Each structure stands twice: as structure tokens, then as C-alpha cells.
Structure 1
Amino acid sequence: MFFYTFLPALLNMSLTASVVIVFVLLLRLILKKAPKIISYALWSIVLFRLLCPISIESGLSLFGLLDTPVAASGTLTSSIEYIPNVHMEYPSVVLPAPGIGEAISDTLPQGEEQLVADPLEAPVAIATYVWMAGVLVMGLYAVVSCLRLRRRLITASLVKENIYLADEIASPFVMGLIHPKIYLPSSLGVREQPYVVMHEQHHIRRLDHIVKVLAFIALSIHWFNPLVWFAFVMAGRDMEMSCDEAVVRKMGDGVLADYTASLLSLATGRHIIAGMPLAFGEGDTKGRIRNLASWKKPAIWVILAAVIACAVLAICLLTNPRGQLLPFELGTLQISWAKTLDCRPNEPTSFDLNDAELGELKSRLSGLTIGRQDDDLAGLTPYYSISIQASGYYFSVQGFDTDDTHIALHYQGRYYRINDSEFSQYLRDICAGGTRTSAAEALPAVQEWFDYYNNGEMQWGGRQEINQEAFPGVTFRWTPEQVAAVLEDGEILPLYTGMPIWSVFFTDLTGDGLPELCSTLSIGSGIVDHRILIYDYANGVSYSLEDRMKYDYSLSLKDGLLMVTKQVYNTDNKGEVVENGYLAYLNNTIQIVPLTLAVTEPAASTTNVSYTYEELSEMPAEELLDLFIQNGLVINDDLKASFTEEELQTLFKENFHLWHTGVSAHSDTAFCDLAEQTKVIFDQIT
């Protein structure tokens, strides 16, 4: 699990910091004439992003302009997530550089293959070990550099307080964290010492010796990012130049020439290595002298403008965006509604919308702002789910509370918060007033050609032919190993093969008005698995449901509907059934629509008599159940087969105190359905 989460989190921090570095470098150019303390302060934003994976949310975040994906990490905090965790069904990369993220995403494995085969685990693990090796090298370098420097300071002599003179150094520096010490080269002239000491003391007062260590830690963590190396160097330069300006500003312009001369006196000889984490020397002498040569006390308005710009940029870059727009445009919508009770979903119900309703829904969806990513919702069962297929995209809006305090959009395996209860209520109003047809009724009609998998014995030497009105001049021919199309001129076009092909059904799954051929077939030599193949003859493409050596798939016809059975792979016998459902074509893929009870609309009340809850509760069991049946209550056939009439009456009476509220104490969907119907009828007759 560590390899799935750590490296993506590290890369997200590094990418976020890279964006901040670019903004800081741009503002640094704009504020070239401003005091260097402003530029130096801006690098603290980069340091924060390099070390902290989360931040608070704000509508002012500049990351919102880049459609940056965010993931919830708390009530007010979130993390930027350009790169998702590896072990997810549909991994996708969203980078701040246009086109690059899409190109990378196209190369990543998608769907169940990614969850089962896990092809990304090995490369991510290797990359993590390489990163660890890099951090180890950086740490060893720091330790060795520190030990070497300490050996050169053994002969250092105390001047006063925390100031030392050393013969083996050529540049002054501060060393230490808790009790920092100032080390001066013995060759430094008496005249230059006051300026240099004041410079180093300003470093200590400003806690630069601690900042330098934190910066080196950040560099060690993000050693693979060249922008971080560049930022480390530039921040060090701004640190030194801001200290130079502070000394000149404190002592007055009259010392400018002498201070510059002191820098020149240190411009020769060896310098402390810039990466030394526990000590820092006075590098980039040439740049510092150039800065002092052009330095003059800035006007108040320049300082004020620079401070305001720095503060605004800090707010914009330190915070994460609150949300993001839907990542696609909407076209034709197919909408379904499913409501759950006691964590058991009823069958989705489809809704046919008129042009006005469809236009309004498109408008609301197009302008909808999606909140933070919150994958914790994946472990919860929604109270209701509104599924929408739009322009080739498939997503759902899900509510997890009856009062709509938790609403999310589920898209490509991720959950995004929707902080808009008005939008959710709008969808629920549509579902309350829309034209309803059950999902089963909405599925296309099916014509069975033959089914040797479930009925009869395979005709190993047989051949069958059939014609379809949708394809005039074409005869479809089956043999156990092949399905082909025979054209009028006698040409035979092979469509697909199997070992054998057990069944063929015709149905219009894609909705183009032309039927596809749907088959159960076996594939393999020695190791054989069963799979489903759908051949779209009109477009010359095929789709399949398969999971070699893990699951077997088969088709069957039930009540005029094409059903899918998913079983544990078994070479000898049919294995354990793990899923049953309708065969459907969604989001350009073949999918299994869950097989659950259909939602039954209760009829209108057959009586004008109104009852109170107390009156209904006091009714005898037989009279109470008969009253609800008269008003449209439909009892599932499985329940009728499992209970006698008297037992059903007792069951209804005992559970009425719950069922009239729509809540069932039973987990079975049949009882959940009864509870839902009971509530609707109760509301009608009371």
C-alpha cells in the first residue's frame, strides 16, 4: 500500500511547488527594484509547498485558474492531486502543462485490468527505491560535509560571545541550530569585521540558519526536480542580498563603499559548499556587489506596492482551489434514478424528459461547480443515485443523506463533493415528475437464434443460418467454431471465432437501430475460459467481457431480457456465481447492469377515507394488509412463495411501525421494496 500512495503524494507536492516556483520567479523579475527581503519572503511559499502536502481552501487560489484537481483531507483542507494513487480503476494524470497529462493518461492501464493485474505497482516500487537512494546520498553528503568542516574548525579561537576566528576557512559563515556560532576567517581585516559580523548577526536574528536547514531538507526530498535546485540557489542569493541591504540600511549609505570593499576582500579563495545544511557561507559575491552598486533607498510607494503584491501572491499560492468545473461538455443525456433503503438499491428507473426539461438540466450541469475530491465516500452506500450518460461520458450524482448534506459526483472511480443542495433537489424534482419506465422495460428487445450453453446439446457438426431484416442481402452463418456473414454474391466474411461458440442473440445494445450479435463462447487451448463477445456488424467492431483464468461470463435469456452471469473460473464445472445482471452498453463499453427488484409504482388510493397512524396500527393484521393491497401494494412473488398468506399478514403487521416510514429492518431487497411501497401508500391514505 505504501508504494501506491507515497510516490504519487510526493510527485503532487513537487509539481505543486514547481508551479509556485514559476510564479515566484516571474514576480521576482517584476519586483526587481524592490527590496530583496520581498523576494526572499516569496521563497517561503515554495518551502511550504515542498514540505506540506495539504493546505486550506480559498476562492482566491491561483491553482483554480489551472483547473487543478484537489482531494479532500479535512473539513477546510485539501491536497492538490495531479497524479492519483496507482491502485485505482481509472488512473489519470492532470498536469499544469496542456496535453502532457492526457498523453500520459492514455498510456496507463484502465478498468478492471488495472485493479487485478496491477501493472503499475512494479515501476512505482522501483521509482520509490530510486528516490530513497537519492535521499540517502543527499543525507550522506550533508553528514560528510559537516564532519569535514568541523575538523577544520578545531583550532578556531573565541573572539567574544559567539564569534570565532578560524585559520582554515576563507569565508565567514554561521554554523549551528540551537546555539549558532559565527566563524570569521583569520585573514579578514579589522576594518571589515564589524560589517561582516553585523551581516551574520542579522542572519541569526532572522533565523536564516534554521531556514537554510529546512531548505536543504526540502531539496533532499525533491532532489529529482531541477526547478527545486534552481529555487534553492536563487533563494540563497536573495537571502544574502537582503542581509546586505539590511546592514547598509541600518548603518547608513555612508558605509556602502566600505561594505562593498569588505565583500571584495572575501571574493578570493575557497568558499563553503552551497549545499552545506548546518552552515552557510557568503556566496555569489559578484551578484551581491552588483546589487549594492545599484542599491538606493526605495520610495515608500515602491515598498508598499511590493508588500501588497507579495501578500496577494502568498494567499493565491498558499491556498488550494475550492472546486473545479465539470471536465466535459454535455450532449445527449440518458438519465436514471435509483433509491436505496437499508443499503440495498432498487432497480434504476429511467426518465424521458421533454425538450424544456432537458435544456434546463444541461444548463444546470454545465454550470455546476464540483468540490473537493473525497474518496472516503467510496465506502458508503448512497441513499439515492442519479446516473447520467452524456456525450460518451458516464457519471452519477449520489446523495448519502436524506437531508442532502452529503452529495457527490462519481466520475472515473473518484468522488467529488457537491456543495449544492439546490441542485440535488432539482434532480429529485425531475425524478418525481418525470415519465417513468423501469430499467428493464428500457432495455432493447432480444431475439434468440440458439443457446446451447443453457439449453440443449451442442451440435458439433452442425451449421445454422439466419437472416435479419435490418441487414438485407446478408445471411448469418454459424458453425461451432465460427460466425460469418454470407453476402449475396456468395462471399463469406468471417466475423468471430470460438472453441466453440455456444449461443447467439440479436439485440440493439448501442441504440443505433441495428442489432448486434451477442454470444457466449470459449477460448483457449488446454486452459479454456468462457467469455461474452458482442459483434457490431453495422460498424465492424466487437466488444467483450472476459477475465482469463479468474472469471467466466455467459449469456442467457430471461423474461425477454439478455442476462449476464459472472462466475468464478473453473476448468471442470461451472463455478460459484458472483454477479448477475442485464447486458448493457454504457460509456462505450459493455457493462453489467445490477439485477435488482423493479420499482413498482403504487396505484392511486381506491378510497376517499383517511386514516390516522393509530387507527391503522390497531387494525387486525388481515384487514391492514388487505387495505394496502387494495391501494396498490404489490407483494413480490418470492415472498409469496416463501410465506403463507397468514404469515404475510403477520409480517406486515409486525413491521408496519417501521415500514410506514419507508425503513425496513431487513436487509433483503424484497422487504426494502415493501417498506418503500408502504410509505407511499401510507402518505396517500392518511
Structure 2
Amino acid sequence: MWIILAMSLSGSVVIVAILLMNFLLGKETMLRWKMVWIKISLAFFLFPVPLLKEEIADFLSTDAEVSQNFHLNEGERFLVFEDRAVIVSHREWGQIWLLGAVLLVAAVFLVRNCQRYFRVKRCTRLLGEIGGHLDWKEEIEELKSQLKIKRKIRVYMDPYDRTAFTTGVMIPIVIAPETLGKDRRYVVLMHELIHIKKLDSFWKVLVSIVICMHWYNPLVFLLPVLYDELCELRCDGTVLKYLNARQKRIYAEEILNQSLRKNDRVLYEMPLFSRGRKMTEVRIMNIRNKTDIRETLKRWKAAGILLSIAIGIACYIPVQAYEKPTVLHVNSSRNEGVIVGSVEFTFRESGLEEIIAVTYDNQFTDENGMVYDAENWERKNCSHPSKVPGEYQVHRKNNDGGCDIYIYSALRCKDCGIIFEEELVSSHHYEKCPHG
């Protein structure tokens, strides 16, 4: 669950940055960089960057020895023991229910989006393809050649004068009004084919998936609005490169006409000509003021690079909020009895209780976490030339069903294994012995 929240927070940073840029500099500036930032935000929303961070760190780092002492006094931690069933977090079930609720609502959003898409697909069956209209076919092929598009494109003609739009990812579908004259048809088809060239339908699908995954984040509902605006402004700029003065005027008029049409969404759900009044004004003014911007291009490019670096750093900060669970590997061999970690946890009515692990009733644990049976030592003549420091632990069961544990600082002979007690470090009493 925390991974999803970290992903959502990272992607939200980019949305806030674009909103701030629109407020300070206007929607029509730095379009290319804003589009790059939108796609970066989609990557943060869709891919578990915290896990990728851990994979990279694991690849670059070497295995380190793990201390046998773990504490849960710095916030909520999760310890995962392999081959041993240990429950750590009392909030685990709550998180599972919360994740289930998120996935349930995400499924509802996904079903609704699929229904809208298939409704558009069904509508295309009622329309006629351009098979017998040679003028349409020739114009489509000419535009595909001009824009260097090699993909298969299906074009349908709408008998009503509705908004033209594009849908489909694998095989794009363009639906345009049959009543379009030659000049209007040229600019409309040019507009739609540029959307296909830029793979805008594909990116819109990713935006829909982000909304399904992160519906609880109010900022993601601004993502399709921002992306549609950037798509249209960028598409306008590309279209204008291929038009003369008269065609630019026709193109501006077509944008205005499309924005004034009503009830378009009764049949179609994904028109690419935006119809908002304010956005229409921005687009038309942008067409009128489209002049040579080479003088300011370098300045905007430099600003875009700097802002991209800043946004990248800001997006990576939430990733650090995710901490990879500690995985402890326990060797089940009792010859040397290697144990990493000497503390277990269980739940009582009074809360989380610390349980000291007991492998042997009398055991010695050295500084590296190696556990030895203190009663298993060789009785031979030994001068004990080499001693290893560690802890000597004694487990004693009581007649009332409880037990006591005494922990001493001690030394162990490396040759014969005999233990030399030094002083008592701590003692622990359990009303009911949890060690079996």
C-alpha cells in the first residue's frame, strides 16, 4: 500500500509543477517540455519506482552482516522471517482491507472506461468507411506520405456535422463529418493524423489507467485536462507548419466551429478538438500570434532543462519514504545453529510483547550472531588459548507454566566450547512460557 502512495505522491509533484507553469507563464509556453513532464509523471504513477530503487541498490551493494538485535521503537517497522511464521504488524489486516477498497474502486473506473470505448467502437459499425470516396482516400494517402505515417488507418464518415475525433491504439480510427468541404477536410484530417503520429490515443489510455489506479488522489483528475490541452496546443503548432495563410484562417475557423457544436458527446466520447471557451480563445490567439520564435527558443530550452532537473529531483524525494522490509534468512541446521536476530514478537491483549528467541535452554551467541549449545562442549584438557566474547543465555521453566531467561556477558573457548560467565546483563520473566 505504501508503494502505491509513494508512486502517487511522486507523480503529483509533476502535475503541481505544470499547473504552476501554466499560472506563471501561460498554457501556450514550453509545450514540448510540459509534454515530457506529463509522460514522466505517468511513469511515476504506473511503475513502482521505490522497488526499482531497491533493486538497483541491491545490485550495486554487497551483502552485509546483520546484527542480531532489532528494535521497533522508531515508527512502524516490518520484519519478514523466511521459513518462520512471525507476525509483526497489528495494522496488517487494516492495510489489506484498504488496498482491497482501492482495487475495487479502481476496477469500477476501469469497467466504465472500457464501456465508453466499446460504445464508440459499436458506433463505428453504423458509419460508412471511405472505400468508395476516391477524393478522401487520395487525401488520406497524401497526408500520410507528407507526415511519414506508415501505420494502417481506418477513416469513417459521419453523415452528421459532428466533431471529428480519433480513437484506437493498434489500428487508429478517424471519424470525420461527411459534409466537410475540400479545404475544411484537409485541415481536419491533418489535425487528426498528427494526433495519430504523436500516439496521443496510446498516452490517453495510460492516463485512464492512472486515474483507475490513483482515483483517491484528486490531482490525477487534472491529468486528462492538462494532457488534452497540451495535445491540442502542440498539435496546432505542428499543423501550422504545413499550412499557408488561407489554410491557417480556415483552421482557426474550424476550431471555433467545433467548439460551438453541442450534443457531440451523446454519440462520441473522445473528441480531440477541445471545446472549452477559454481553451478555444487560447488556441485561436496562439494561431494569430504564431510568429518566428527562434529568438526565444534557446531561453525556453535552457529553462526547460533546468526545470526538468528540478522536477526529477522533487519526484524522487517521495520515493525515499518507502522502506524495503527487512528479510531475515534463518538456517534450520542445528549443528552450528546460525540465527540472525534474537528477538521475536507476539500479540497479547495488552499489546505487542517482545519474545526472546530460545534455540537451546543453555546457549551462547557470539558477536556474529552464531548460536551454540552451551551444554555441548568437548571435555578435554584445554588451556583455552582463544576466547570469543558474546552472550550466555539460560532458559528455565517454572512449575506454574511460566519461564525465566537470564542473559550474561560471557566468553567461549573456540577450541573446547566451554563457557565462562562474567556478569548478569538482564533477566526476563514470562507468565506463560512462549517457547514450547
TM range (shorter): 0.5 to 0.7
Distance 2:93 2:238 in 1: 52
Within a 5 Å distance, the mapping from 1:152-551 to structure 2 comes to 152-157=123-128, 158=130, 159-160=136-137, 162-167=154-159, 170-267=162-259, 268-272=261-265, 279-286=270-277, 287-294=279-286, 295-297=289-291, 299-318=293-312, 375-376=325-326, 379=329, 547-548=348-349
In structure 2, the gaps of 5 or more residues are 61-70, 80-85, 131-135, 141-153, 332-339, 341-345, 368-373, 390-407, 416-436
> Cα distance 1:376–1:149, how it changes in 2: closer, same or farther (>3 A)?
same
> Cα distance 1:169–1:224, how it changes in 2: closer, same or farther (>3 A)?
farther
Which position in structure 2 is the counterpart of 1:23? 17
SS in 2 for 1:164: strand
Distance 1:289 1:229 in 2: 23
The alpha-carbon deviation at position 251 of structure 1 amounts to 1.6
Q: 1:37 and 2:15 equivalent?
A: no
> Cα distance 1:220–1:273, how it changes in 2: closer, same or farther (>3 A)?
farther
Structure 1 counterpart of 2:100, from 113, 129, 134:
129
Structure 1 counterpart of 2:44, from 36, 49, 67:
49
Which position in structure 1 is the counterpart of 2:56? 74
Q: Which amino acid aligns with 2:196?
A: I
Q: How big is the alpha-carbon RMSD for the aligned residues of Structure 1 and Structure 2?
A: 5.0
Which position in structure 1 is the counterpart of 2:147? none
Which position in structure 1 is the counterpart of 2:122? 151
Bigger radius of gyration among the two = 1
Contact preservation (8 Å) 1:167, 1:185: yes
> Cα distance 1:231–1:77, how it changes in 2: closer, same or farther (>3 A)?
farther
Q: Summarize deviations over 1:68-94 as a string: whole Å, max 9, x none.
A: xxx62324899xxxxxxxxx94685xx
How many residue pairs get aligned? The number is 340
Q: Which amino acid aligns with 1:305?
A: R
SS in 1 for 2:291: coil
Ranked by relative contact order (alpha carbons within 8 Å, sequence separation 6 or more), the top structure is: 2
Contact preservation (8 Å) 1:165, 1:183: yes
Distance 1:201 1:674 in 2: 81
The alpha-carbon deviation at position 173 of structure 1 amounts to 0.9
Contact preservation (8 Å) 2:169, 2:201: yes
Which position in structure 2 is the counterpart of 1:389? none
Q: Summarize deviations over 1:172-207 as a string: whole Å, max 9, x none.
A: 111221221211023444431111111111111111
Q: 1:141 and 2:134 equivalent?
A: no
Give the structure with the larger helix fraction: 2
In structure 1, the gaps of 5 or more residues are 1-6, 58-70, 79-87, 93-107, 325-369, 382-399, 401-544, 554-565, 568-575, 582-593, 599-637, 664-668, 677-686
> Cα distance 1:322–1:41, how it changes in 2: closer, same or farther (>3 A)?
closer
Distance 1:260 1:597 in 2: 81
Identity of aligned residues (%): 18
Contact preservation (8 Å) 1:42, 1:310: no
Q: Which amino acid aligns with 1:74?
A: I
Distance 1:205 1:318 in 2: 27
Q: Summarize deviations over 1:276-328 as a string: whole Å, max 9, x none.
A: 5xx5432235313433314322522422232333333334434689999xxxx
Distance 1:672 1:125 in 2: 46
Q: Summarize deviations over 1:371-391 as a string: whole Å, max 9, x none.
A: 99565575599xxxxxxxxxx
SS in 1 for 2:264: coil
> Cα distance 1:242–1:322, how it changes in 2: closer, same or farther (>3 A)?
closer
Which position in structure 2 is the counterpart of 1:410? none
> Cα distance 1:373–1:303, how it changes in 2: closer, same or farther (>3 A)?
same
Distance 2:281 2:186 in 1: 18
Contact preservation (8 Å) 1:38, 1:306: no
Which position in structure 2 is the counterpart of 1:8? 2
> Cα distance 1:214–1:644, how it changes in 2: closer, same or farther (>3 A)?
closer
After TM superposition, which residue ranges in structure 1, 4 or more long, deviate above 6 angstroms?
A: 108-111, 320-324, 549-553, 576-581, 669-672
Which position in structure 2 is the counterpart of 1:445? none
Contact preservation (8 Å) 1:72, 1:372: no
The alpha-carbon deviation at position 241 of structure 1 amounts to 1.4
Q: Which amino acid aligns with 1:132?
A: L
Contact preservation (8 Å) 1:56, 1:76: no
Q: TM-score, normalised by structure 1?
A: 0.41
Which position in structure 2 is the counterpart of 1:481? none
Which position in structure 2 is the counterpart of 1:412? none
Q: Which amino acid aligns with 1:141?
A: R
Contact preservation (8 Å) 1:14, 1:225: yes
Distance 2:100 2:299 in 1: 46
Distance 1:41 1:374 in 2: 30
Contact preservation (8 Å) 2:7, 2:44: yes
The alpha-carbon deviation at position 227 of structure 1 amounts to 0.2
Q: Summarize deviations over 1:3-28 as a string: whole Å, max 9, x none.
A: xxxx2211111111112221232234
